[in-house]
Structure formats: structure tokens, C-alpha cells
Structure 1
Amino acid sequence: MSMPIVAIVGRPNVGKSTLFNRLVGKKLALVDDRPGVTRDRREGEVRLGHLRFRILDTAGLEEAEADSLAGRMRAQTEAAIAEADAVLFVIDARAGLLPADQPFAELVRRSDKPVILLANKAEGGAGMAGAYEAFALGLGDPVPLSAEHGEGMGDLLDALEAVLPEPDDEDDEEGGEGKPLKVAIVGRPNAGKSTLINRMLGEDRLLVGPEAGITRDSISIDWEWRGRRIKLHDTAGMRRRARIDDKLEKLAVSDGLRAVRFAEVVVVLLDATIPFEKQDLTIVDLVESEGRALVIGLNKWDLVADQPGLLKDLKEKATRLLPQVRGAAVVPLSGLAGEGIDRLMHAVTSTAEVWNRRISTAKINQWLSEATQANPPPAVSGRRVKIRYATQVKARPPHFALFGNQLDALPKSYTRYLVNSLREAFELPGVPIRLSLRTSKNPFDKSE
């Protein structure tokens, strides 16, 4: 099967070159300085997760002389779209929608090609208001990302998977249930990740041994569990980088990080004899910040199974230490003895369903009315904050937007109350919940 082609399209200065460099993985020289249209776009080969595709970048047009710019932009953009199997339409989330975005949006809309709308420069959740403006383009849900900081690449992968053919997998419709569920198994070195995966596969596919850190790379393995196709990632142990202690906590091995980004469900494997060490909590923070679904595996359970009440204690400890993923499944297992694997996989598949869940706007607004009646938002400068309307803007993980007045003045404690209330009302255990607050009118209320 020939490699699919994806075109990056958008007005100047939205970050197309940065996105191209991020995807290709190296800084290719900018456009040739020779005159002529042929060099006005760059091409590169991309490996994103397990996808392989060619990327076309039209950013070089921004270097053209002003008088010929508009015509050349249109011609090159049209040529790139015509050649592409899918289009990444990029806007600047911080600037919001500008008139200059419209002609490009028009070209993309007319093309009848699958379009992924990217709201770039949304690092740290900034510019979400601009991302919501992009709904007005009628090109589907915007994917917020930061090409410069590499945030949101997992969401981009999910969106591309939905429109590009599966690589080297002609029989994707056969067997299993559609696309494989991507599961990463991460944890401190020597938590028993490789032993567990070998037991799951029923063969010694991975090298195991008592030395910590024996797995050098992230390995992806196709597997089937009860008719469900699974893509398993075993990762090098998330370990402290030598003598950069203050930095560790920031990051673990980059390969493990990559596996977390491209997984849907992450199993954080703890050693049940020494659970919830500081590094375990750091790994869970990483999983949450990447927006992945979480399951906690208590490995080596056979060594502590004789301690009455331990499981209950550890579940309570998980609730206390990991409020950001409240309700995450805590599964006792033994990779060595092959116990608890079915329990673990049931937890993985049900958490994946929660992560993918979409809730109707009517139900969310019914929840909002009950939640704000039970505990009204506080007053700010003598004026009560009013939350008028709520909706779910995306799944994977569940992301909700609230609209109202003075929402930026809501205290953290109240947004925490709303997140916990959402989690409880709609049964969303073990997944990060994103909440965006937007001060604006209710789009459905014509009376204002």
C-alpha cells in the first residue's frame, strides 16, 4: 500500500512550519531561495505512533513577495490539497479566527477531503476560547495542540487514525473489534512489566531478568484478548536520570513518555511490596497531564496476599493520593504467577469505554442546573458568577466547556467541585476530566 499523503494548510504565521518540523522530527532547511513555485512547499516522511505518511507543507509561501503572495498561496494550497488523502487545517488558537483564515477554510471545505482542524499554540490550555471559535468553520471539533511544545500529538494521532488507512493491515476489518486498543504498561524499573507481558502473551517474547532497566526501548506488540485486538507497549522503566534529580520529576525516559502519549489506556504497574513511591505518583501525573485513561496494577501481589485488609487500604490510599484520576481501577495481580490478568484487562477495556464516552448536551445541562442549585457559584465583587450553559467538546479524555459570566474569577475549589460532580454524575472513574471556562453568551439563548 502506498504511503498516505497529508497536507498542512492555513494562513501565514499559524505555525505550519513548526508543526511540519515537529512531525518530521528534524529541522529541514526552509524553502529554497531559488525563484519558482516548485520549491514553495516541503515534503517529509512522518512516523507518528504506528502511522506512516508523507506530509506536505505549504508554509514556504509565506516567504514570497507580497504582490504575488495571494495567487501563489492559493495555487500551491490547491495543489497540495488535491494531492493529499487528508488535510490538517491549522489556525492560531491564541489569535482566534481571523478573516484571513476564511479563504483557506473555503478551499478545504470544497475539496471533499477529510479535514482535521488544528488549533495550534494552545500550550497549557491557553487559547481554548480561540479553539472554540473554530467550531464556526463547520469543519468539526478542533484539536488543540502546541507544535512548538509537542502537546496534543496523541490527540492528533487519534484524529489521523480515524481518516488514514491502517498501515500494513489490509484485513483491518477482520477479527477483533475494529482498531486495536492501544495499551502502554509503564512503571518504575523492576516493577515486573516485561514479566507481566510475557505471561499475557504466553511466550517469552521480551527479555527479562533481575537487573533493573533491562528493557532498552519501547516495544509494541500485537495481541488479542477475548477477541479484542490489543496493541501492547512495554516501556523501558521510567527511571531517574542520573544526577538530574530535580529534573527527573519532570520527566522519565523519553521512550516511556512516547508510549504514554500514543496509548489510550496506561497501566501504571506498582510493586505491591513498595507501592505509591514518589516516582509512581510522578508517573500517574504524567499520564493525567497527557490525558490518558489510567489503570493501576498492583504487581507481585502473591508476596503480600496474606496481609488482611491491605487491598482496601491501598484503594483508599489511591483515592487520597490521586484525586485527579479519582476512581481509577486498582487491580491486584502477579505477572510471575499469571494471576489477575483477566481482571486487569476487564479494567483496561471498561476504562477505555469511559475515556471515549460522549454525553448529550441536554443531560449535561440538567446536571449543571442540579450542581449549581446544590452548591451555587460564589459571588465576585458582589456579583454572583452565573454559569449559563455547558457542553462536551470532545472525548478521549472527556472535555467539557462551561459558558457564563465572570467564569475566570471562579475559585479553583469550585471548579474542583464541578469536576468531581461531573465524575460522579456520569460515572467517569479513572480518566482525566478537562474543564474549560468561557465567558460569553449562551449561543442558544436568543433573549440576551
Structure 2
Amino acid sequence: MSFSLAIVGRPNVGKSTLFNRLVGRKLAIVDDQPGVTRDLRDGEAKLWDLHFTAIDTAGLEDATDDSLPARMRRLTERAVEEADICLFVIDARTGITPTDEVFAEILRKRAKHVILACNKAEGSAGEAGLIEAWGLGLGEPLAISAEHGEGLEDLYAVLLPLSEGFEERAASEAPEVDVDVGDEDEDAPRPITADKPLQIAVVGRPNAGKSTLVNKVLGEERLLTGPEAGITRDAISVGVEWGGVPMRIFDTAGMRKKARVQEKLEKLSVADGLRAVRFAEVVVVLLDAAIPFEVQDLKIADLAEREGRAVVVAVNKWDAETEKQEKLRDMRATFEQVLPQLRGAPLVTISARTGKGLDKLQQAILEAHRVWNRRVTTGQLNRWLEGMVSRHPPPAPQGKRIKLRYMTQAKTRPPGFVVMCSHPDKLPTSYRRYLVNGLREDFDMPGTPIRLTMRSQASQNPYKNKREKNAGALRKHLDKKKK
């Protein structure tokens, strides 16, 4: 990326719509309700041949106390100071408001470069607002429509000369990197690199401390936090090198019970969080130590398992607990009982506020990722299968004997195994569970989802089809003779 572009302005002027337009995907949640965006979201943007980092910010509020709008404003002001260029967006149909004038003054003092854009300028409705925008003293305003993609060529013309200096700077600062090019196995364990970091999603109920945890890992107040439940709305991804390992962490919105999710905006937030789970490699299920393993916690953990992600359970706010040993013992017993499909998954106690236990959490994440990529050779699997069958032969339902003939690993991430057998549809679930539990214990795969598929391999006569084909040809020949 050659430079960073922060999109700023009042709430509901179309910043997130423009952000989505520039990055080419619907990354940010968009709704008619003002104040949807709260955290900073960045993405790789492209405008013709210009490549840069676009930053979507919360709407600038005229508040300076400790309220949620004031904290959102401080986060946006920090983005203004750190970005190379600020794109100040106003609503051309509404015209210039006193709030726009206040923030124009802030941008003049703090921003390195400011571009003024009048959004919703399609048609004649925005002409008056476009003329008014000259009064802000930020240069010639650009008439754009983020919804319809109009005016982006004018934005390109303004960004192009500014970008040249940033490209020269980026080239001079870029480190030399040795690239190892070799044969790649698509199903082999993926090496974690700066270009392809480890993908982690932090999920849990509202107010469990997800954003606080991510901020502690980053070492800065990058995400909005506070005592209010449900602050996070978008699934925000941030890159970090945690303990020397490149990672990209997704902070997601709190997931409440489905029956309680009524508002459209909350439904969009939850859907965004579910999408983050599907793209993640390791999912950290964050629990509140005061009320762990509620029904919603179990549903979230089960969702991660069904999606085939590696799972780590982290119990937050552990510093507030008094009877730590007894509570931990009870939680481990409960975990094994209510989530048998994740038996052996790491259970780590942490304090996101103080940072205690984060080193153990990082080790648990790396171990879960390693197990998630585990591959076992076919020879090992078939020797193991023979031993499992000799100890406990499969049952014979309705007198039909089930033979387990052959086993191989079909995939990793998560580990998936295929067993060729007779009558796979009659193999009881309990025996499948017996095999899965054996795989976990004997091949050191605790906690990771394991996929076991039973396939039929009925013995067939290789000459059967050929014999039938010859018989049919002979019948046709005799019929012709009769005629």
C-alpha cells in the first residue's frame, strides 16, 4: 500500500458506503440509522491503478466527555492524525451544518492532507450544498455519489499527484525479503508468514471483554471499549505480530440469543461475526468468569466446531475470582460434559484488563492451529484401525457383519478421515464416536474438530459387466438371424 486514506465526517453522510465502494466488497455494515460505524476499519482499496489503505471511521460527534460518542470521536481523531490523507465527506443534500464547520477546523489543524467530498450529489438536489462547501475553506469540493459510483474519477485525479510522494517513501522504506519458491502441497500445513498471517476470530456474548482483549494484545486502544454492552458492531480485523508470530485478529460483535436479536442492525452485526468465524483458522470463545458456559456460550462454541475451526476457550475476568482453583476444576468438568465434541480443547484463564494469562492464550492458539493441521500417514492409520477393531469389533445389526477394510486421511484443516467399509449406513453413531475419540487420544488431536466419513467398498466381480455386455451382443445377433 502506498498511502492511507481516512474517510471522516458526520454520522450518516455515506462514509461506509464509500469505503465499501473503494475496497470493492461490503466489508462495513451500512444502514440508514446514524452512528452505525463505531470502530476503525481498514481495507485494501483500489481506484484504477492506485492501491492504498482505506480507513472507515465513526461519525464525528460534537462531544468531549467520557460518553460513548466522545470515545468514538477520540478514536476518529487519532485516525485523522495517523492517516496520510483525510477525505472529509459531507452530505450535499443537507448542506453545511455547524458540526461540519467545527470538524473542518479540526482537520485543518491535525490532518496532513485534506480532500473535501460532497456525497449524495447526484441530480440537482445537491447543487446548493456543493456551492456551500466552498465556504469551509478546504479547497474545491468534489461532487460524488458513493451509492452510484459517480465522481470517483475526480477523486482519482486529486489522489494521483499526492500518491507519488508516498510511493517513493514506501519504496525507500521497504525491507528486502528473500522469497522461497518451491513445490507446494495445497493440503499441506500452511506456513504462517507476514503475507499470510494466522487468522483468529474472538467471539462470545456481549460485554465478555473481546475488544479489551484485542486492545491488550495490540498494546494500544485500537478498538472502542466501555461498560456498555454491544459496543462493537462490525467484525474488525487488525494485524499484529504476537510473540513473533504474524496474526490477524477479528474482533466480533457480541452474539445474544437468537430470539433476542430483533433489530436489523444487530442481525447485520451477528451475520458479520459469523462470517469472521468462517474465515478464521482458530476461534477463541471468550467467556465471562462470573457466568461461564451459559446456553449461548455453548451454541457459539458448537458453531465454531461445526464450521470446522480450531477452538480455544478463554475465561476472561479471572482476576476478579476468589476461589480460583475450585472454580477452574468445576469449569473443566462442565466443559467436558457439555461440549464432548470439543473434548481436550484448551481452556485458558485470562484477564484482558491486566494482561495476565495472555502468554498462555497465545501458546494455546498456536498449539490448536498445529493440531488443526495434523496429518497422519495411511500406514499408521490402518495399523491403528486394525487394533481398534480387534479390541472392539463393530456390531452386526440385523445379523449383517460390518467390515472396516481400509482407512486414509482425506484432508486437514480440520483433519478429515475416510473409512472404506461394508454397510456404512448401518454403523451406529456410538461406534463412530469410539473411533473419533481413539483418533484424538492416539494421534494427539485434542479439541480439534474431526470429520469421519464411512464409505461403501462392496467387493464386485470385475467380469460381471463384461459378461452381461457379451450376453446382450449375442442375443442381438441371434435375433437378427431369426429375422
Q: Is the TM value for this pair above 0.5?
A: yes
**Distance apart, 1:190 and its partner CA:** 0.4
* One-letter amino acid of the structure 2 residue matched with residue 222 of structure 1: G
Aligned to 1:322: 339
The one-letter code of the counterpart of 1:323 is: P
Counterpart for residue 105 of structure 1:
none
The answer to whether residue 296 in structure 2 is matched with residue 291 in structure 1 is: no
Residue 344 in structure 1 maps to residue 378 in structure 2? no
The question of whether the paired residues in 1 share the 8 Å contact of 2:233 and 2:269 is answered with no
The answer on whether the counterparts of 1:380 and 1:409 sit within 8 Å (CA) in structure 2 is yes
| Corresponding residue number in structure 2 for 1:127 | none
SS at match of 2:287: strand
**Structure number with larger C-alpha Rg:** 2
C-alpha distance 417-241 of structure 1, shift in aligned 2 (>3 A)? closer
Q: For residues 121-153 of structure 1, what are the alpha-carbon distances to aligned partners after superposition, in whole Å with 9 as ceiling and x for unaligned?
A: xxxxxxxxxxxxxxxxxxxxxxxxxxxxxxxxx
* Residue in structure 1 matching 2:457, options 425, 429, 440: 440
* Runs of 4+ deviating beyond 6 Å: 45-53, 169-174
CA–CA distance in structure 1, aligned partners of residues 417 and 175 of structure 2 = 36
Aligned counterpart for 2:376 among listed residues 341, 345, 359: 359
Among 394, 410, 428, which residue is 2:411 paired with? 394
SS at match of 1:381: helix
Question: Within 1, Cα distance between the matches of 2:309 and 2:176?
Answer: 28
Question: 1:199 maps to what in 2?
Answer: 216
With 360-369 and 235-244 compared, the bigger mean Cα shift is at: 235-244
Shift of the 214–429 alpha-carbon distance from structure 1 to 2, 3 Å rule, reads same
* Match for residue 294 of structure 2 among 254, 259, 277: 277
Per-residue displacement from partner, 1:218-258 (whole Å, max 9, x unpaired)?
0000000121100000001112346469xxxx998111101
Q: Who is 2:74 aligned against?
A: none
Tell me how far apart the structure 2 counterparts of residues 335 and 243 of structure 1 sit (CA, whole Å).
Answer: 27
User: Deviations along 1:57-97, whole A, 9 cap, x unmatched?
Assistant: xxxxxxxxxxxxxxxxxxxxxxxxxxxxxxxxxxxxxxxxx
2:411 is equivalent to residue 383 of structure 1 = no
Match for residue 29 of structure 1? none
Structure 1 residue 390: Cα displacement:
0.6
1:429 maps to what in 2? 446
Q: Tell me if structure 2 keeps the 8 A contact 1:239–1:252.
A: no
Q: Quote the Cα distance in structure 1 between the aligned partners of 2:231 and 2:269.
A: 16
State the one-letter code of the partner of 1:285: D
* C-alpha distance in structure 2 between counterparts of 1:333 and 1:379, whole Å: 49
- Shift of residue 383, structure 1, vs aligned partner: 2.3
- Indicate yes or no: 2:427 matched with 1:404: no
Q: 1:396-432: per-residue Cα shift (whole Å, max 9, x none)?
A: 0000001010111001111111111111111111111
Kept in 2, the 8 Å contact 1:388–1:442? The answer is no
Contact 1:356 1:397 in 2 (8 A): yes
Match of 1:268 in 2: 285
Q: Is 1:361–1:390's contact at 8 Å kept on the other side of the alignment?
A: yes
Partner of 1:21: none
On the 8 A contact 2:285/2:311 being kept in 1, the answer is yes
- Indicate if the aligned counterparts of 1:292 and 1:431 stay in contact, CA closer than 8 A: yes
Q: Which amino acid aligns with 1:185?
A: V
Alignment of 1:187-336 (within 5 A): 187-241=204-258, 243=260, 253-336=270-353
SS of 2:445's equivalent in the other structure is coil
- In structure 2, runs of 5+ residues without a counterpart are 2-23, 29-42, 47-173, 180-190, 461-483
Structure 2 CA distance for partners of 1:409 and 1:235, relative to 1, 3 Å: same
Q: Identity of aligned pairs, percent? A: 53
Structure 1 317/242 Cα, relative in aligned 2: closer, same or farther at 3 Å? closer
Measure, in 1, the Cα distance between the counterparts of 2:224 and 2:45: 27
2: CA distance, partners of 1:394 / 1:172: 31
Q: Counterpart of 1:309 in 2: which secondary structure?
A: helix
1:30-49, Cα deviation, whole Å (9 max, x unpaired): xxxxxxxxxxxxxxx77899
Q: Partners in 1 of 2:236 and 2:177 — Cα distance?
A: 21
Coordinate RMSD, CA, aligned: 3.1
Question: What amino acid is the match of 2:233?
Answer: R
Q: Deviations over 1:311-342 (max 9, x none)?
A: 12211211111111110000000001110001
| 1:413 alignment partner in structure 2 | 430
Is 1:182 aligned to residue 199 of structure 2? yes
Contact 1:177 1:227 (8 Å CA) reproduced: no
Cα distance in 1, alignment partners of residues 445 and 306 from structure 2:
17
Structure 2: how far apart are the matches of 1:251 and 1:213?
Answer: 13
Q: What is the CA deviation profile of residues 268-324 of structure 1, one whole-angstrom value per residue up to 9, with x for unaligned ones?
A: 000011100000000011001100000000000011143432212211211111111
Structure 1 unpaired stretches of 5+: 2-44, 54-168, 444-448
Distance (whole Å) between structure 1 residues aligned to residue 375 and residue 357 of structure 2: 30
User: 1:170 offset after TM fit, Å?
Assistant: 10
Structure 1 residues 24-39: aligned runs within 5 Å: none
Residue 380 (structure 1) shift: 2.2
